[in-house]
């Protein structure tokens, strides 16, 4: 995928990056060790792109992702993503993952069933592992069978996945979340 430009932006989980081209967002990167490492990764991945301020449509995507990661219920389906270079199978998986609302999860098997091939759970996992649009395509909302976390390819691995799910107050399996226990409000430290 070709990116015309990229920008870094701050979120509740650290600096993230977004790259875009003429047809929409071509990549999102979750936090690296620091902003310099993130910038270096973007330059390696998109050597012809320049760092600049996000234009209005991309700026809206940045604001929506920032709000979602801050705990607001935000639907990111309106964000245009450029899947021209994404394999057709992966595009179907990404469309199914985008349909999972914040705070909800599905299993790899359920996503496979949603795209019409209930035997493709492992292939779904591989497609999500190659997801160039994390958060916009919420691969963190897809879990292994029986509520197990499954993998996560971003820095921090499964801990990052679980942090994103906790921010969204997602229920994993049938057990209540901390937020359910206390009327939907997180406890303040020292309470």
147 or 127, greater pLDDT: 127
Q: What Å distances lie between residue 188 and 68, 73, 179, 181, 182, CA to CA? A: 21, 21, 12, 14, 11
Q: Which of 28, 139, 142, 167 is catalytic?
A: 139
Full-model pTM: 0.84
pLDDT for position 83: 95
Active-site annotation holds for 139: yes
Q: What percent of the chain has pLDDT over 90?
A: 69
Condensed to tens digits (0 to 9), the pLDDT of residues 132-153 reads 999 999 999 998 887 666 666 6
């Amino acid at each position: 995928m070709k990116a015309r430009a990229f920008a870094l932006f701050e979120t509740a989980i650290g600096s993230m990056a977004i790259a875009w081209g003429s047809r929409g967002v071509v990549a999102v990167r979750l936090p690296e060790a620091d902003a310099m490492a993130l910038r270096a990764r973007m330059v390696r991945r998109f050597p012809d792109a320049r760092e600049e301020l996000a234009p209005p449509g991309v700026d809206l995507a940045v604001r929506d992702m920032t709000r979602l990661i801050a705990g607001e219920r935000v639907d990111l389906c309106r964000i245009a993503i450029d899947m021209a270079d994404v394999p057709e199978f992966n595009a179907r998986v990404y469309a199914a993952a985008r349909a999972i609302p914040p705070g909800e999860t599905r299993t790899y098997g359920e996503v496979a069933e949603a795209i019409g091939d209930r035997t493709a759970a492992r292939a779904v996992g591989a497609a999500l592992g190659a997801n160039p649009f994390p958060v916009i395509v919420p691969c963190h909302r897809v879990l292994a069978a029986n509520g197990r976390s499954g993998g996560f390819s971003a820095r921090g691995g499964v801990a990052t996945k679980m942090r994103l799910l906790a921010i969204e107050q997602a229920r994993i399996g049938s057990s209540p979340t901390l937020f359910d226990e206390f009327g939907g409000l997180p406890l303040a430290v020292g309470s």
